[in-house]
Structure formats: structure tokens, C-alpha cells
Amino acid sequence: MNHSETRAGMDMLKRGSTDRTSRERAGPMFWISGVVVAIASFWVSGGHALSGSVLAPSSTEPMRIAQLTSHLQERGARRLLIIDGSVENTAAESGYMPRLAIEVTSDAGRITRYTLDAGGAMVEPGERYHFSSRVNAPMGSVGGVAVKVTKGND
């Protein structure tokens, strides 16, 4: 069969009847376009959220809880939970004391949250800022106390 002849019907399915020019492989622009489309789809569907954790250098928090103690105190008919501790500046430069998030868990699992603000106190490198807070104790007994340094204006 000659290439100039037209193929009709079922003749095009015969084994030697395919045209060699129609069997070329896709060129590099096809594959580059496919990769670009795949990366763009990933980025738009949420991949950009991963870039912050991958591209940003991991650093330790400059302010950390260095010491924490808590105890109950009876004041007449009221029970108070006294929380004492210190925050250490582990950075190489001075920093403002951030807010502290205090979570008190009762023995029943109920969590009460408090915020302790140091009023923008400056903490020098290697120094500690001591804090103390008195909050109402939960009914029953205290299941746990957690204090965390907040980031930004949390």
C-alpha cells in the first residue's frame, strides 16, 4: 500500500498500514509543559502551605519556660492555685517578654485558660524573667497545669 493512497474503513487497523510520521514521540516542550502544569496544580491546591516550613530556617524559640511550680492555697472559703516560674531568653539579643498562656486542667478534664501579660518587659540574653500568678482553683482537684510562651499577639 502506498502512503499517498487513502485508507478507508477497517484497512487502517491492519498491521503494516500505520503511517510512521504519526508514531513520533512527544517532544521536550510537551514534557516540560506537563511538569509545569503538575507543579502549578500542586501549588494551587495547597502546596504553598508546605513552602513556609521547608524554606524557612528552623530556629529554636528565643524565650522558653525555664522553671515552673504550682501549689494550692486556702484563703478563707476560696482555694487559689499559685503558679510561679521563670522564662529564659536563650537568644543572642534582647527581647520583649511575650504573653504566657496558662492552662489549668481539673481532675474531670475541664480546661480553663488564662493569659499572663508581662507588660512589655525587656529580657536580656541569658537572663530570666520571673513570674507569679494566682488563679481560682478548679472544683475538685487540679489535674494539671501547663504554661506556654505565646507567639506574636496570640
Judge whether residue 82 has pLDDT over 80: yes
Residue with cell 474531670: 108
Edge-first strand order for the sheet with 78-89 is 63-75, 78-89, 128-136
Q: In degrees rounded to 5, what are phi and psi of residue 110?
A: -75, 135
- Whether residue 4 is contained in a domain is answered as no
Judge whether residue 72 has pLDDT over 70: yes
- Residue 119 has which C-alpha cell? 507588660
Domain that holds residue 110: 63-149
Judge whether residue 110 has pLDDT over 70: yes
Domain boundary among 17, 34, 58: 58
- Whether residue 85 is contained in a domain is answered as yes
**Residue 70 and residue 114 in contact, taking contact as beta carbons nearer than 8 Å:** no
SS3 43: helix
- Residue 73 has which C-alpha cell? 492555697
Residue 73 neighbours by CB under 8 Å, 6+ apart = 79, 80, 81, 82, 134
**Residue 111 and residue 105 in contact, taking contact as beta carbons nearer than 8 Å:** yes
Give pLDDT tens digits for 31-50. Answer: 899 999 998 888 888 877 77
- Whether residue 14 is contained in a domain is answered as no
How many domains does the chain fold into? 2
Write the CATH number for 102: 2.60.40.1470
Which of 23-27, 35-39, 62-66, 117-121 is the least confident region? 23-27
Tell me the average pLDDT across 99-103: 93
pTM over 0.85: no
Q: Are residues 38 and 82 in the same domain?
A: no
SS3 45: helix
Q: Are residues 50 and 83 in the same domain?
A: no
Q: In terms of pLDDT, which residue wins out, 1 or 45? A: 45
How distant, in Å, are the alpha carbons of 50, 125, 128, 136, 139 from that of 110? 34, 37, 31, 14, 10
- Whether residue 38 is contained in a domain is answered as yes
Q: Are residues 77 and 117 in the same domain?
A: yes
Per-residue pLDDT band for 58 (boundaries 50, 70, 90) equals very low
Q: Are residues 73 and 96 in the same domain?
A: yes
